[in-house]
A and B are shown apart, each in its own frame.
Chain A
Amino acid sequence: MKIFKSLTKSLFFLSILISFGFSTKAQSADEGKTLFNANCTACHAINDKIVGPALKDVHKRREESWLIKWVKNSQAMVKSGDATAVQLYKENNESVMTSFESLTDVQIKSIIAYVKAESEAPAAQAATATVAGSNTNETANTSNDYKTEINWLLVIISILLIAIISRIFGILNKIGEIQGKPVINWTQTNGLLVMAFLIIGLIATFWEFYVHGKLTVFAMGSASAHGDEYDNMFMITLGLTGVVFVITQILLFWYAYKYKNDGKRKAMYFPDNHKLEFIWTIVPAVVLTVLVIRGLMTWNNIMYSKEENAREVEIFGYQFAWDARLAGADNKLGAHNFREIGKVNALGVDTTDEKAKDDVVVKELHLEVGKPVNFHFRSKDVIHSAYFPHFRAQMNVVPGLPTKFSFTPTVTTADMRNKLGKPEFDYVLLCNKICGSAHYRMKMVVVVDTKEAYEKWLASQKTITNQPVNNSIASK
């Protein structure tokens, strides 16, 4: 009995251990997913090569310890002459992978667990997908290949066309030589063509405004307090330049049509007229004065805006992602030092600083609607540009030069989604200064919340001192 009892006891413990083990494993893949999306997706996907290679089955290709070393500092491995590392570096055209020294071994393991899970899982999904949509798969295949019959036909037709046109050229030239004058009267033809170009061009311009104008951020309306003033300035400029554009283009092409040589015309000797010249110097000058004054007012209002109760947020840019640091309850950002980047934490924030204790670092930026925000920008490596198109906000992120920009979001994400009728819509912060190979994927989702939702979200975030850090490095 005693044995039985101890057996059940140990079984009980075992089952707890196993279930715990399972749950940690599941939890680790979950954590891995979050980490993967935050750190890896700029350059990697599971099944496709993006900037870096596809990660499917990477756990089978490489040792776990090798992967951990690689993720932390791939360049060191290449330098140390590790054969696989050197080959991988060469294969990927010597693109340097970002070092993630602040990720702990456990975190990297969880990412690997996630990749492993993803590599194995989709097999079932893919099977069902092919059954359900073999048709779509086929069309997808053909659309990915440019060598279709139609394209070959196009090539043949264009070659034939070129041959025919050049033949016609030759014949026309011969006829022209025999007749002693060119066959096509280009002055007449051009007269017709300029008018056709003018009319079709103007119609196309208006069509463009009508069709593609809807896709611009101006059609969407601004989502920030200063955005309305910005849009106003834009519309004034659009109106004035639009009028000038239409008038001058009409005059240009109409003159080309009207005054073309017809064999009888005699040009008017009209070398200058001071009155006319005076008018068309003064009128643009006055119009531009209006635009300059209005522009300066807008510029100064935006750049020198000072809001008393603004929240302080730091945007930290690096190849190829953004981190946002919120100031926490004290609304003061803790000190940072670039030499500490990647050591104690990824941002080089001094965790002993009192102000830093409640700072929160996030990968998805939440803002509270109607609450002004002062953004402070900092770069780890090269110049980036933090661009929030929907908020009419942008500022370069320059290593060694603190830059700032302030705005007040006025429309919540939910409201904007309703307004646009697009449930997937998200505000974004994107990189707008060439910064390397994955520049085009360097983005952060920005969510504008109501006050309650914002506070709830903020409360759920860990402060920087509570976030897991690589203690082995920190202790050094």
Chain B
Amino acid sequence: MSDHNMNNHHEDHGHHKETFISKYIFSMDHKMISRQFLITGIIMGTLGMLMSMIFRLQLAYPDMKFSFLEGILGHWGKDGKLDPNFYLALITIHGTIMVFFVLTAGLSGTFSNLLIPLQVGARDMASPFMNMLSYWFFFLSSAVLVFSLFVDGGPASAGWTVYPPLSALPKAIPGSGTGMTLWLVSMILFIASSLLGGINYIATILNMRTKGMKMTRLPLTIWAFLVTAVLGLLSFPVLLGGSLLLVFDRSFGTSFYLSEIVAEFAGGIERTGGSPILFQHLFWFLGHPEVYIILLPALGITSEVIATNSRKPIFGYRAMIGSILAIGVLSFIVWGHHMFLTGMNPFLGSVFMLGTLIIAVPSAVKTFNYLATLWQGNLQLTPAMMFAIGLVSLFISGGLTGIYLGNAALDINLHDTYFVVAHFHLVMGSAAIFGMMSGIYHWFPRMFGRMMNETAGQIHFWLTLISAYCVFFPMHFMGLAGVPRRYYANTAYDQFNVFIDMNQFITIAALLGGLAQVIFLVNFFYSALKGRKAPQNPWKSNTLEWTAPVEHLHGNWPGEIPHVYRWAYDYSKPGHNEDFIPQNVPDKGQIDPLDESNGLPEPVNTENSANH
């Protein structure tokens, strides 16, 4: 995206109406928008990861002075000691960045944009203009959040869940001043971005499928993106409402969330009549579906990658769709499991507990289906496949601890401890990052027309997997010892201070994980510019995106959009020479794409389509 590119572009394609600005910046092409989402997501992810390194250093070496901190953080790191307020700011912004900017926009934004039109067979999104707006709202939102790092009092510091009154009263913690206002502005922009994107995804999937692409022939990625978009559309507006009320409480003197507070930092006035718990209900009404907004695209990507690289149809396609839908529906009635101990009526706790544990059933079905897909397969252990396998492993490890936390009784002693930190970093953080990585390695040839270096990818995978387990697995034991999360140091408690060795181990493992991401970053940017040119269909995949030309093209296919004659998973079908039959290949004698395919394609047709 340098000037050099721009000049080239003008010389080569001067006759197009596209300018540098319309092609690379205010692009309405879904493939370019997906790259924009990915690169912004990667930058934000790097920032979030660096923040975690700083607070990990603090946790491992609470007494040590790191003089470079003063260089990076200024007065927040006076004499090389991290300020406790800024520690809380770091964990807050780390959480916000990772949950929203990397794993929602960076993951779902990237792959929904790239894959929805290409896999359903559409020229572009239903509304390319809204799609462009979606990215630019996201960009603005990221910019506001990054800017908030530099304001007086520091960025928001009330935890990524920003529970009032801590977040509502500007003097309760320094970050609840300007920093919190900017956090809310950023979040409101983010929600606008997410809604614009979501409406578009749903409209495109429902209305713009090519001929023959029945809902029951959609790749599981698209099913996952569809349910994700619906979840986002139904839950993000609730957070928007909740955030606006918080803005009113903070700036206009209302008391939606404030009750019985006459503290010096309440501004000297009585704040009565509201309920802090109301905010938690509104927040988690988004917050829990949000977990699945993050996880479902990762699971969709994994389904596709595992099937392709096992050279086997995904096991139980319809059961997979059923479990995605079940998870989607159930995710709306379980938000209360974050609030078992807020003083909510214990009966409500029982109801939320029931719903929460039921989610384990579709999740278990998905896991077993992945295992059955691997069974008797012919596994191509590419980096994408390794990350997909890693996701399943992390999903099991993190998912099982959900059974403890979803149990209201067990939650009493585990709530808000490191057990929770371990749980959600495994099942939502690491697993979703693994899904995202799997998607990047798998679709990189489609995004950039080049291949990534495999050896670097494999090393990246192994270091990341080892570091993920070394960081998060020991944390369970801290949680079981009752160590609370969001503690600046455990020095005030002898019983927690015994974990100092473990904390040092975790920090070293986290630094190793950070180093592994440097390998990824180098590989990513080097390959994007100078990697080996990608072949048409490098993974011998069935889905439609691999029939589009490698060179990006506005409108995706030069001629007619291919028709679809079969489901996406005809791998290793007996009686056929090749071990894959792309979706656009008709069966012998199949004329209408809508007819169900039962047999095999004519050999001649296969040849044709391979050359196509």
Which A residues are within 8 Å of any B CB, using their own CB? Answer: 49-51, 73, 75-76, 93-96, 99, 143-147, 169, 172-173, 182, 184, 186-187, 189-191, 193-194, 197, 201, 204-205, 208, 212-213, 215-218, 230, 233-234, 237, 240-241, 244-245, 248-249, 251-253, 255-256, 259-261, 265-273, 276-277, 280-281, 284-285, 288, 291-292, 295-296, 298-300, 302-304, 319, 338-339, 341, 377, 380-383, 385, 387, 389-390, 392-396, 398-403, 424-425, 428, 430-441, 443
Bound CA span A394–B376, Å: 49
Given pairs A296-B354, A437-B85, 7 additional interface contacts (CB within 8 A): A193-B462, A251-B371, A261-B378, A269-B573, A299-B350, A390-B482, A400-B261
Q: Is A230 in contact with B65, judged by CB distance below 8 angstroms?
A: no
Pairs A–B under 8 Å by Cβ, sample size 23: A93-B85, A93-B174, A95-B173, A96-B264, A186-B382, A187-B379, A208-B474, A215-B477, A217-B480, A252-B374, A255-B371, A259-B374, A259-B379, A280-B368, A288-B361, A288-B403, A339-B262, A339-B270, A398-B343, A439-B486, A440-B84, A440-B487, A443-B493
Bound CA span A292–B571, Å: 40
Q: A386: shortest Cβ distance to chain B, in Å?
A: 10
Q: Is B261 in contact with A399, judged by CB distance below 8 angstroms?
A: yes
Q: A299: shortest Cβ distance to chain B, in Å?
A: 4
Q: Is B409 in contact with A190, judged by CB distance below 8 angstroms?
A: no
Segment with Cβ contacts to A, from B123-131, B233-241, B450-458: B450-458
Q: Is A341 in contact with B262, judged by CB distance below 8 angstroms?
A: yes
| B277 sits at the interface (CB 8 A) | yes
9 nearest CB pairs, A to B = A400-B259, A389-B482, A403-B343, A216-B480, A303-B346, A298-B409, A212-B477, A268-B376, A400-B260
| Interface size in chain B (residues, C-beta < 8 A) | 135
Contact residues in A for B502 (Cβ distance below 8 Å): 212
Bound CA span A261–B343, Å: 55
- Determine which of A49, A75, A295, A387 lies in contact with B407 in the assembled complex, contact meaning CB atoms within 8 Å: A295
Known: A230-B410, A272-B315, A272-B316. A205 touches B473 (CB 8 A): yes
Segment with Cβ contacts to A, from B23-31, B113-121, B389-397, B586-594: B389-397
Bound CA span A194–B465, Å: 11
Q: B362: shortest Cβ distance to chain A, in Å?
A: 9
Segment with Cβ contacts to A, from B182-190, B413-421, B549-557: B413-421
- Determine which of A94, A216, A240, A339 lies in contact with B174 in the assembled complex, contact meaning CB atoms within 8 Å: A94
- Determine which of A204, A268, A280 lies in contact with B365 in the assembled complex, contact meaning CB atoms within 8 Å: A280
| B460 sits at the interface (CB 8 A) | no
Q: Is A392 in contact with B403, judged by CB distance below 8 angstroms?
A: no
- Determine which of A73, A382, A401, A430 lies in contact with B493 in the assembled complex, contact meaning CB atoms within 8 Å: A430
The residue in chain A whose Cβ has the minimal distance to the Cβ of B374 is: A255
Q: Is A169 in contact with B456, judged by CB distance below 8 angstroms?
A: yes
Contact residues in B for A428 (Cβ distance below 8 Å): 493, 495
- Determine which of B165, B364, B477, B481 lies in contact with A382 in the assembled complex, contact meaning CB atoms within 8 Å: B165
Q: Is A288 in contact with B396, judged by CB distance below 8 angstroms?
A: no
Contact residues in A for B367 (Cβ distance below 8 Å): 248
Known: A217-B482, A260-B381, A303-B349. A76 touches B264 (CB 8 A): yes
The residue in chain A whose Cβ has the minimal distance to the Cβ of B163 is: A383
Q: A143: shortest Cβ distance to chain B, in Å?
A: 8
| B70 sits at the interface (CB 8 A) | no
Q: Is A436 in contact with B455, judged by CB distance below 8 angstroms?
A: no
Contact residues in B for A288 (Cβ distance below 8 Å): 357-358, 360-361, 403
Contact residues in B for A251 (Cβ distance below 8 Å): 371
Bound CA span A389–B569, Å: 51
Q: B269: shortest Cβ distance to chain A, in Å?
A: 11
Bound CA span A323–B202, Å: 54
- Determine which of A76, A190, A380, A433 lies in contact with B458 in the assembled complex, contact meaning CB atoms within 8 Å: A190
The residue in chain B whose Cβ has the minimal distance to the Cβ of A190 is: B381
Bound CA span A273–B174, Å: 59
Question: Which residues of chain B in 566-592 are interfacial with respect to chain A, using CB atoms and an 8 Å cutoff?
Answer: 569, 571-574, 579
Contact residues in B for A205 (Cβ distance below 8 Å): 473
Bound CA span A172–B350, Å: 59
Q: Is A95 in contact with B85, judged by CB distance below 8 angstroms?
A: yes
Known: A75-B265, A299-B350. A267 touches B381 (CB 8 A): no
Contact residues in A for B415 (Cβ distance below 8 Å): 385, 394, 432
Q: Is A186 in contact with B458, judged by CB distance below 8 angstroms?
A: yes
Q: Is A399 in contact with B158, judged by CB distance below 8 angstroms?
A: no
Known: A271-B317, A400-B272. A387 touches B484 (CB 8 A): yes
Bound CA span A187–B382, Å: 8
Q: B499: shortest Cβ distance to chain A, in Å?
A: 7
Bound CA span A38–B464, Å: 46
Known: A302-B409, A400-B261. A440 touches B489 (CB 8 A): yes
Segment with Cβ contacts to A, from B4-12, B242-250, B296-304, B306-314: B306-314
| B206 sits at the interface (CB 8 A) | no
Bound CA span A187–B383, Å: 10
Contact residues in A for B81 (Cβ distance below 8 Å): 49
Q: B574: shortest Cβ distance to chain A, in Å?
A: 5
Contact residues in A for B166 (Cβ distance below 8 Å): 382-383, 434-436
Contact residues in A for B382 (Cβ distance below 8 Å): 186
The residue in chain A whose Cβ has the minimal distance to the Cβ of B488 is: A440
Bound CA span A205–B319, Å: 32
Bound CA span A316–B136, Å: 47
Known: A96-B264, A172-B455. A218 touches B492 (CB 8 A): no
Q: Is B358 in contact with A216, judged by CB distance below 8 angstroms?
A: no
Known: A215-B498, A233-B409, A400-B261. A245 touches B371 (CB 8 A): no
Known: A233-B409, A234-B404, A338-B262. A218 touches B480 (CB 8 A): yes
Bound CA span A396–B344, Å: 10
- Determine which of A213, A276, A401, A434 lies in contact with B158 in the assembled complex, contact meaning CB atoms within 8 Å: A434
Q: Is B412 in contact with A393, judged by CB distance below 8 angstroms?
A: yes
Contact residues in A for B379 (Cβ distance below 8 Å): 187, 255-256, 259-261
Q: Is A398 in contact with B276, judged by CB distance below 8 angstroms?
A: yes
Q: Is A382 in contact with B410, judged by CB distance below 8 angstroms?
A: no
Q: Is B65 in contact with A145, judged by CB distance below 8 angstroms?
A: yes
Bound CA span A383–B258, Å: 11
| B341 sits at the interface (CB 8 A) | yes
Bound CA span A461–B312, Å: 75
Q: Is B172 in contact with A237, judged by CB distance below 8 angstroms?
A: no
The residue in chain B whose Cβ has the minimal distance to the Cβ of A442 is: B492
Q: B317: shortest Cβ distance to chain A, in Å?
A: 7
Contact residues in A for B458 (Cβ distance below 8 Å): 184, 186, 189-190
Q: A342: shortest Cβ distance to chain B, in Å?
A: 8
Bound CA span A275–B446, Å: 38
Q: Is B572 in contact with A267, judged by CB distance below 8 angstroms?
A: yes
Q: A318: shortest Cβ distance to chain B, in Å?
A: 8
Known: A303-B346, A383-B166, A440-B487. A252 touches B392 (CB 8 A): yes
Q: B174: shortest Cβ distance to chain A, in Å?
A: 4
The residue in chain B whose Cβ has the minimal distance to the Cβ of A390 is: B482
Q: Is A430 in contact with B484, judged by CB distance below 8 angstroms?
A: yes
Q: Is A216 in contact with B477, judged by CB distance below 8 angstroms?
A: yes
- Determine which of A99, A266, A268, A440 lies in contact with B490 in the assembled complex, contact meaning CB atoms within 8 Å: A440
| B66 sits at the interface (CB 8 A) | yes
Q: Is B477 in contact with A208, judged by CB distance below 8 angstroms?
A: yes
Q: A356: shortest Cβ distance to chain B, in Å?
A: 18
- Determine which of B396, B481, B494, B498 lies in contact with A252 in the assembled complex, contact meaning CB atoms within 8 Å: B396
Q: B87: shortest Cβ distance to chain A, in Å?
A: 9
Contact residues in B for A73 (Cβ distance below 8 Å): 264
Q: Is A259 in contact with B396, judged by CB distance below 8 angstroms?
A: no
Q: Is A261 in contact with B477, judged by CB distance below 8 angstroms?
A: no
Contact residues in A for B574 (Cβ distance below 8 Å): 269
| B101 sits at the interface (CB 8 A) | no
Contact residues in B for A396 (Cβ distance below 8 Å): 341-343
Q: Is B261 in contact with A338, judged by CB distance below 8 angstroms?
A: yes
Bound CA span A190–B372, Å: 20
- Determine which of A268, A280, A338, A381 lies in contact with B377 in the assembled complex, contact meaning CB atoms within 8 Å: A268
- Determine which of A208, A261, A381 lies in contact with B381 in the assembled complex, contact meaning CB atoms within 8 Å: A261
Q: Is B173 in contact with A191, judged by CB distance below 8 angstroms?
A: no
Q: Is B310 in contact with A398, judged by CB distance below 8 angstroms?
A: no
Bound CA span A330–B343, Å: 27
